[in-house]
Chains A and B, each alone.
Chain A
Amino acid sequence: MSRTVESVARALRVGAWAAFACLLAGTLAMLVAGIEPDIGLGAPTSAVDPAASLLGLAPAVLTWAGIAVTVVMPVAAVVVAGVSYRRDDDRRAAASAALVIALMASALVVAGAIR
């Protein structure tokens, strides 16, 4: 396995487990706080005990942190690949990674402009 592949695999593994840890902790905190998933069924979210209310902020912070890490992971992996390829002087592969990042940024700009 090349150094680049190793670096990308490591970045994805660490990111995946970090996201999983945040999301799992957030989900458990939701359960402790008595917060049910809001799917429009009128699930009660206010019936929480005092101990749970201390954790009131934790579920939101943890779940959003997990979601943020999840979303950013693939982009980070491409950046890691590009930097690693560049370090190995593999310009063609580094250019591929840079192109993907540039195109993704363009897609976000275009989508933002359309909406």
Chain B
Amino acid sequence: MVLTLLLAAGGFGAGAFGALLGLGGGVLVVPLLALGFGLPFREAVAISLLAVVATSSASAAVYLRRGLANLRLGLVLESATVIGAILGGLVAFALDERLLAGFFAVMLVYVAISMARRRDVRPTAGAAGAEPPPAADEGGAPSLIDPATEDASVGPPPQTSRSLRDSLAGPDYSVHRLPLGLALSGGAGIVSALLGVGGGIVKVPTMHLAMGLPLRASTATSNLTMGITASASAILYVMRDSVDPTVAAPVLVGTFLGATLTARFSSRVPVAVLRWIFVIVLLYVALQMVLRAVTPMVGT
């Protein structure tokens, strides 16, 4: 019974964390199950994928109703992500994983610095949890940032426009650099397939830094789309009997509760806090990737 409760508690933490940051919680579930409970790595990954789906579904329902998650944009970006995931799966065996991990670590540090150097702006009038478009960087802004989002006048798109980009705009923000966003979302799929990390670690910075979405909208939309990506992989694991229901059930019960509760209260978390937690997580994952790059592979 104690073991069941511990698994549920771990799932609760992962669900809360994933729903808050748009990361799905896989960053927590895999080490928790593999290192904390001694579960085989493959089984830990399988249950982690299920937890990502659970987090996504439980929190996305809330975020959609609040107008935070952008369904249209999510579907468009998800197309690129799935294509990237297929490509990643095809080339996975032809590339040196350690080289990729090193490259990914450098990219994560770069993105973490970009996010940390953002200037936080007080929300203007709008829906609960609304946040103005990202403001200008202070000093040496990375080139990923769309100059258009530095203009405080960015607002709803003109109603007469019928371009794809305009049709993807949110209630109080525009979508910029759609081609770049699609390319980076494809990259998120590749990275996800090659390195076994959640696409959210790439998607949230892509939407926030490159496409100009507010951070809350980015995490909410990432939550929505991650479940779609993870479900395809999860189905494969379930079909291959890699999921132990006695372990998965308590973890998922905790995940559902954590994600649902966090989604309801996430708008009370200040954006600055959200940003710094995300930066810390990016640096933590970057460290993991560096270790993966420099540590000789044993038994893999």
CB distance from A71 to the nearest CB of B (A): 5
- For residue B1, CB closer than 8 A to chain A, the reply is yes
Interface residues in A17-74 by Cβ distance below 8 A to B read: 19-20, 23-24, 26-27, 30-31, 35-41, 43, 59-60, 63-64, 66-68, 70-74
A23 with B3: CB separation less than 8 A: no
The answer to whether A24 and B253 have CB atoms under 8 Å apart is: yes
Q: Is the CB of B57 within 8 A of A15?
A: yes
**Which of A15, A39, A66, A111 lies in contact with B249, CB distance below 8 A?**
A66
Mask for B65-83, Cβ within 8 A of A = 1, else 0? 1010001100110110011
Chain A interface, DSSP helix/strand/loop, else mixed: helix
A36, B247: Cα distance in complex, Å: 9
Within 8 A of A (CB), among B1-32: 1, 3-4, 7-8
- Structural contact, B244 and A38, CB atoms closer than 8 A: yes
Residues of chain A lying within 8 A (CB to CB) of residue B277: none
Q: B236 near A100 (CB under 8 angstroms)?
A: no
CB distance from B18 to the nearest CB of A (A): 14
How far in angstroms is the closest Cβ of chain A from B45?
Answer: 14
Q: At the interface, yes or no: B53 with Cβ under 8 Å from chain A?
A: yes
Asked whether B75 lies within 8 Å of A97 as measured between CB atoms, the reply is: yes
Stretch at the interface among B84-92, B140-148, B290-298: B84-92
A106 contact set on B, CB distance < 8 A: 86
Given A19-B252, A103-B83, A107-B232: A27 and B4 interface contact (C-beta under 8 Å)? yes
Do A12 and B60 form a contact, CB below 8 Å, given A27-B253, A37-B4, A38-B247?
yes
Decide: B228 and A78 in contact? CB cutoff 8 A.
Answer: yes
Chain B residues with CB under 8 Å of A35's CB are 246
Write the nearest CB–CB distance from B117 to chain A, whole angstroms: 33
Taking CB atoms and an 8 Å cut-off, the chain B residues in 82-125 that contact chain A are 82-83, 85-86, 89-90
A15 to B37, CA, bound (A): 29
Q: Is the CB of B39 within 8 A of A70?
A: no
State whether A67 and B64 are in contact (beta carbons under 8 Å apart), knowing that A5-B71, A27-B250, A39-B37 are contacts in the complex. no
B167 in the interface (beta carbon within 8 A): yes
5 A–B contact pairs at CB < 8 A? A9-B60, A19-B54, A67-B243, A74-B228, A78-B75
